[in-house]
Amino acid sequence: MKTGGPRWRRVHPQHRVWAARWGTQRPGIAMFLPSLASGRLIARFGERVMMLWGVALLAGCALVSLSGHALAQYWAALVLLGVGWNLLFVAGTTLLAREFSDENRHRVQAMNESIVFGTQASVSLLAGVAVHRLGWEMLNLATLPLLAVMVLAAGRLRRLQPAVAGADPNELK
């Protein structure tokens, strides 16, 4: 959605070029600024809870974007996108680091980073085509089933994660 923004402006020509340009800057800030607090939130509430918050924010992004074509809605949706992405990424990375032994952690982390950013690069290249062919609304609607899969995956983590956030799983046995 972030990289489809310039194409969004073509679909909604009442908005100026600067609107799409500023719009693509908003999620960049929203993707990284929350990192100042997201680690603490994950330590306090656990990876699963923060992943669910990330999914909720991404769903909010799609719903705000679907609610209209005003510039404020576009910008608000992209901020929700950035913060939701941050929570999912940081919580997922934290979970991944916790689940693997020290000797495998770095390899798995590198593989995860390659998959995440490789997928982002591929999807970025396709975003303009998707907005052009499917439309902005369909692009937003297409995210909802993917978010449902994320909720199911996070629900599955409930059985795997300690009952107390930040607790050592070995101490709970």
Q: How far is CA 85 from CA 5, 61, 97, 104, in A?
A: 16, 11, 18, 25
Q: Do 54 and 88 form a contact (C-beta atoms < 8 A)?
A: yes
- Helix ranges (H only) for 12-101 are 17-32, 35-45, 47-66, 71-99
pLDDT for the residue numbered 11: 56
Phi-psi region for residue 111, left (φ > 0), alpha (ψ -120 to 50) or beta?
alpha
pLDDT for the residue numbered 23: 66
* pLDDT tens-digit profile, the chain (173 residues): 655 555 555 555 666 666 666 666 777 788 899 999 999 999 999 999 999 999 999 999 999 989 988 878 888 888 999 999 999 999 999 988 888 888 888 898 899 999 988 988 888 888 778 877 888 888 889 899 999 999 998 888 766 555 545 555 444 43
Q: Do 75 and 21 form a contact (C-beta atoms < 8 A)?
A: no
Q: pTM above 0.85?
A: no
- Identify the CATH assignment for 5-160 out of 2.40.30.30, 3.40.50.360, 3.30.9.30, 1.20.1250.20: 1.20.1250.20
